[in-house]
Amino acid sequence: MATLENILVERDQDVAVITVNRPKALNSLNSQTLRELTSAVRDCADARAIILTGAGDRAFVAGADISEMAPMTPWAAREFSELGHVLTALIEDIPCAAIAAVNGYALGGGLELAVACDMIFASENAKLGLPEVSLGVTPGFGGTQRLVRLVGKLKAKEMIFTGEMVDATAALDMGLVNAVFPREKLLPHCREIAAPSGSSSAATICRCAPPTARKPNRSHSSSTPKIAARACAPSWKNALPSSPESRSWTSH
């Protein structure tokens, strides 16, 4: 595995834990982090289960990296969106079980990362949402289609159109997460869920998955040009918070 700067990878027998390790930036996703995640998921695809989580106690992944997004040209924005599509499609299609341990904010690309997984478990302080509408862009990693599969068309549209966050309890009620735990019990529970899979091969787990969970949706790429078209709009750039800590949706 290549040298990794922004993520941590831990292999314990046949369970891999991949942690986005940018806590000062609320584990936001820049191009390098997306590439490292893609490489790590690909390298761990022979495991029986992969657990994705974020470093620290505030965020799973709080979205895309603002400092990288602000100066993007349309072409750079398209390339960035494609990186996200490659990663989420890979997570969706790998033969092993993918589990998201959402330990805080899962916003924008963070929620899109989570909904590409087979299971989502959340901590009590988790907040989930797609706030892109407040910036004048659309979710760029295919999350709009995947969200519909989990919560239904009407609820998905409400989340996408309003950009509002939901807390862990509401996410559980709408079927967006499997279960909610105190923060200190979240990762142990995910490891426990992953452990029984150890008696089965990755190929068997893949065959057990519902067809819709493993079928690539080529329409995901339709959002990519929309992201690119908005990249140079002054209103979009002016709406971007100056730093992760100043994101209006993470200040509550």
Active site residues: 112, 132
HEC sequence for the chain: CCCCCCEEEEEECCEEEEEECCHHHCCCECHHHHHHHHHHHHHCCCCCEEEEEECCCCEEECCECHHHHCCCCHHHHHHHHHHHHHHHHHHHHCCCEEEEEECCEEECHHHHHHHCCCEEEEECCCEEECHHHHHCCCCCCCHHHHHHHHHCHHHHHHHHHHCCCEEHHHHHHCCCCCEEECHHHHHHHHHHHHHHHHHCCHHHHHHHCCHHHHCCCHHHHHHHHHHHHHCCCHHHHHHCCCCHHHCHHHCC
Q: If you compute the radius of gyration of the chain from its CA atoms, what whole number of angstroms results?
A: 17
The number of beta carbons lying within 10 Å of the beta carbon of residue 50 is 25
236 within 8 A of 135, measured Cβ to Cβ: yes
Q: Give me 111's structure tokens.
A: 């929620």
